[in-house]
Structure 1
Amino acid sequence: MISNPYLSSFKNYLKLERSLSGNSIEAYLGDLNKLSQYFESVDQTPQVKEITGDDLKHFVSWINELGMLPSTQARVVSGLKAFFSFLMLEEIITTDPSALLESPRQVKHLPDTLSIQEINGMIGAIDASKPEGMRNKAILETLYGCGLRVSELSNLKISDVFEENEFIRIFGKGNKERLVPIGQTALKYINIYLRESRVHVPIKKGHEDYIFLNRSGTRLSRISVFSIIKALALKSGIKKSISPHTFRHSFATHLIEGGADLRAVQEMLGHSSITTTEIYTHLDRDYLRGIITEFHPRS
């Protein structure tokens, strides 16, 4: 079984060396408690040094039979791996029993996609007479027109817009820089917002270059963008689960369904792997069948 000295040392390791939050640490310790519960259920009391790879495989089967979600099982496996890696680091064990332990495959649930009509409906639901109206139009047009993450939109700067070339510079995950095409419609509403609305906002120092600002004159937060999207979805009568990411997903889906090259979409989305891009392209069978019919020489 897992004795308190090991748990205490592991907890200090997670806190001091891994700099994890209190909630994350408690989750790791909870995973180890589940392992102890498993051994109790099968009337076993092995010491930490005696736990084998087979023990851990049986444990994963046990939590699966309990009905634990694959995502939760994967987190538990991750916690076990972290614990045994720590024991190896401290030279408490000489062989890692979790080395060959595999996480259960998780079903990837794709977010809802908006149709072009639904996107137009949300944009049409914006009250342009309100001070934030033109800003919100520019936000939706940019999210959908460029396929941005919400953090990328929030951090977008005036100096990152190259209007003559119709590109914007984005700093994505890992601060990786990429250039993304921006259409005339998104540029149009950004310019209207900058000229007619944003000029009336008292801009705080350090936020002068950010495009999208709140009423206080500071960079619009991710949470604020979420709230704007949720409110417009409700106002336009959309029942789907909508977030800013829905526009990114719709951007990729509509491009692929329109015949865009998958690698071009990968580049615009800023994915390091094309496999990630494929997740965004839930193409229906009719579309795939049409591609075969049109392009395959033996169709």
Structure 2
Amino acid sequence: MEVYIIQFQNYLQQSGYGLSTQRMLPACVREFLEYGGFKSIVEISPGIIVLFYEWLHIRPLKYRSGALSGIMISHYVYALKVFFSWQESSDGLQYNPMSGLKFRRHASGRREALSVEVVEALFTAAISMREKVMLHLFYSCGLRRSEAEMLNVRDVQVRHRLLYVRSGKGASRRVIPLTGKVAGELGVYLEEYRKSGAVEKGAFMLNREGRRMSGSSYNRLLKGLVGRAGLWQGISLHYLRHSIATHLLQGGMSLEYVRDFLGHRHLEATQIYAKVGAHQLAVI
């Protein structure tokens, strides 16, 4: 069965998973295969997977006392999902034994995405061009707070409908395509609103004093907009980034495209930010 583990590791590497995931997922699958003592993966049934899942709740830790945490058990479930989905897609199995199985979701406290209706309510309530641009930067373009802070005029190419992120997380760079509407409104901001009172000529987004917008300034701007829209006060800038990722995936965008759009290095980072369907390797 070791050949399956090696092939699985190669698949994870080629698919862009992070190094820690390339180590952890095969280790989880190896433990499952050793638990069942299978001679071939075609012997694996949904029933034995359920037994393994139940056993994980009483399995002792290897190096200290205690049992596995809920989130670690979720990692095992995720590993098996990815493994069997890969086997099915590569014709290693005709039937995926994980299909139809549901397991308790670990309560991780992960933030939920905003609904499309809530996002539309925010855009409707935006009365200033600064508010509209803020929504475009964090929702339409999916920027991080630090990326919006560092954005410069030269980074927004309205004519070519492109936005350049030159100071992404981990010193990464990416190019974000703009829709016609977004490019148009960013262009209006540049031509009609930004020029007046600008103190810092290079910065794209300016505060009322004509200086580069800080993260705290963006937060205050959003809080005022949320309050005027009569929405939940817990909505933050990152909710907007999270939400566009979820909405793109729900609209049929591939996980790889959304990963590049958000500037993530690895696929699992994108899955944390967005709810995806089972066919996109999410844990049920």
How far apart are 1:140 and its partner, in Å?
Answer: 0.5
Alpha-carbon deviation of 1:218? 1.0
Change (3 A) 1:198 1:162: closer
CA–CA separation in structure 2 for the residues paired with 1:182 and 1:107: 36
**Would the alpha carbon gap of residues 126 and 163 (structure 1) be closer, same or farther in structure 2, given more than 3 Å must change?**
closer
Q: Tell me which residue corresponds to 2:260.
A: 267
Counterpart of 1:213 in 2: which secondary structure? coil
Match of 1:241 among 234, 237, 248: 234
- Equivalent AA in structure 1 for residue 184 of structure 2: K
Structure 1 distance, partners of 2:186, 2:159, is 14
Q: Does 1:221 align with 2:214?
A: yes
Aligned to 1:212: 205
Larger radius of gyration: 1
Q: What SS does the corresponding residue of 1:200 show, helix, strand or coil?
A: coil
The 5 A counterparts of 1:138-287 are 138-170=133-165, 171-201=167-197, 203-204=198-199, 207-239=200-232, 241-283=234-276
> What's the offset of the Cα at 1:281?
2.1
TM-score by length of 1: 0.55
Gaps of 5+ in 2: 1-60, 72-105
**Structure-2 separation of matches of 1:214 and 1:156:** 13
| Structure 1 residues 258 and 240: alpha-carbon distance in aligned structure 2, compared to 1, 3 A threshold | farther
User: 1:70-104, CA deviations, whole angstroms, 9 ceiling, x for partnerless residues?
Assistant: 9xxxxxxxxxxxxxxxxxxxxxxxxxxxxxxxxxx
2:38 equivalent in structure 1: none
How much has 1:107 moved relative to structure 2?
A: 5.6
1:187-215: CA deviation from partner (whole Å, max 9, x where unpaired): 122111122221222x22xx212111011
> Does structure 1 retain, via aligned residues, the 8 Å contact 2:114–2:243?
yes
Q: Distance in 1 between matches of 2:139 and 2:181?
A: 11
> 1:229 Cα shift?
1.2
User: d(CA) in 2 for partners of 1:250 and 1:141?
Assistant: 12
Would you say the 8 A contact 1:142–1:186 is kept in 2? no
Identity of aligned residues (%): 31
Structure having greater relative contact order (Cα 8 Å, sep ≥ 6) = 2
CA RMSD after TM alignment: 2.6
Measure how far apart 1:240 and its partner are: 5.8
For the structure 1 residues 270 and 256, does the alpha-carbon distance in structure 2 shift closer, same or farther, using more than 3 Å as the test?
same
| Structure 1 residue runs without a partner (length 5+) | 1-53, 65-69, 71-105, 128-132, 293-299
Distance 2:181 2:208 in 1: 24
| Distance in 2, Cα, partners of 1:188 & 1:275 | 33
Q: Which amino acid aligns with 1:118?
A: V
Q: Do the aligned residues in 1 keep the contact of 2:150 with 2:203 (CA within 8 Å)?
A: yes
User: Which residue is 1:67 aligned to?
Assistant: none
Give, in whole Å, the separation in 2 of the partners of 1:214 and 1:223.
11
CA distance in 1, matches of 2:133, 2:213: 13
Misfit runs of 4+, over 4 Å: none
TM-score by length of 2: 0.58
In 1, Cα distance between the equivalents of 2:159 and 2:226?
33
